[in-house]
Structure 1
Amino acid sequence: MKRSFLFLSLLALFVCPTIVNAQSNGDTLPLVFSRDFGYGAGNQIQGTFSLKVKDYEDLERVDYLFDDRVVFSSTEPPFRFQFNTAQFGEGIHSIYAIGTKTDGSTIQSNKITREFISSTEAYSNVGKFIIPLLAIVGIISLGGVMLPLVFGRKKTHQPGVYGAAGGAVCPKCGLPFSRSIFAPNLLIGKLQRCPHCGKWSIVPRASKQALADAELRLASDGKIDINKSTGKDEVRQMIEDSRFEE
């Protein structure tokens, strides 16, 4: 789950909305530059973006200029201008706004410099980042599946003894086993192979009551002897504790 969250967070960094406030002071117009949807990394951008003026009174009109050429004018607050980089040529562009006040005077914003790139280049840049990331996530996930198989074969189940990831009850055979910390998380549980029946399942962490019941089923099947097992005290304590759980 953490690996999935990391992947989605990093992907959102490139394609999801973001906002940049152009530096301003008392003598400049406060211009807000935001990414509605598209690519953005460093000064390179591609997709749909917006410009607007934030919290400035006494404005009648705002003109937006790209490379010293007026491309849009607005007379309604917040004087928003939405555009797509495909409307303009590729390359470096200087973006700013000039506001006209009610008394006829004008005020200018600071300039924002961005390089407009093609969609092909944007996809290529994202791919250069995403493909290695997917490979890393894939290797980690594969390791999470293989490590329990390699190291788990030499271990036998000890009743009442569970690791840091807790115990689980196999939905196929109903018997308990320890979840591996290396097993991949798939939102609702870990993907893991049952050491008893050999089948794969997504198993959440089981409660004490569920584990106690499963331990009794394991004992009744004759696969363990609670009285002789290493974890006999833990099993008995688990059964005792489960009596007080609702």
Structure 2
Amino acid sequence: MKKSILLFLILFKTPLFSQDLNLLENKLNDLIEKRINWSDNQNEGSYDSLAKYNKEFEKLILKFTATNPKTLTYNFKKIKTDLTIITSEDGLFRIYTWNTFEGGTMQFYTNVFQYSIDGKVYSKLNKKEGYDSGCRFYEINDIQANDKHYYVTNSVKVGSSAAYLYQAKIFSLENGALNENAKLIKTKSGIKNTLTYDVDLSSSSNSDRKDGIESRDYMSLIYDKKNQTIVIPLINADGKITKNKIRYQFKGSYFEKI
């Protein structure tokens, strides 16, 4: 009898989760549409309305990702192209990113980190300080080092149509929490959590170049998964982006310059 009741509860709970996820997608799409409409609206008070729906969007994602474990692996196929979701290979860490549309040429992003520890799911807002515009996380890769599991993320801040900041950042799950300051990158000044560089396409060294190279084609941060290598462009002292690369390869304990 107890087994029958347990089986009934499991079967009953599964469609409820499915219904919850369908409801979530519908609500997110509704808020996405409202945010887009208000971002295109030039009327007085439109910015306040946009900020209001951004806050609702944020609260909704935080609520569902912290209470519904299925969201950690759900593919969100119905979501319109306004929410970027990247997931670790082990399926325990996921980052949600969206553009708030509250900026101009400077893009403002919000991120939610979702993770699982001992079978329980958690989520938290990526906190920003001061006038931080936030970043767009676009890739995540897993690394096993020193008997720990790490995540290498790639992200970009957009300061304008010509100004960018790229960053490789390390995360880990340890001591029952998400460690946002895990250190795995070995540099001359010590073991670091991030590897960061700026790009200025408006500088004369990039905008007035005569070598036929399009700077934009070589400016991005790349992770070479096969060789476990963080690849960044070699940028000259005058800001000129070159075709040459700087590589930090994982050597068993740390990423080291090669």
Q: Same fold (TM over 0.5)?
A: no
Computing the radius of gyration from Cα coordinates, the structure with the larger value is 1
From the two aligned structures, give the one with the greater strand fraction: 2
Which TM-score bucket, shorter chain as reference? under 0.3
Alignment TM-score, normalising by the size of structure 2: 0.25
Greater RCO structure (CA 8 Å; 6+ sep): 1
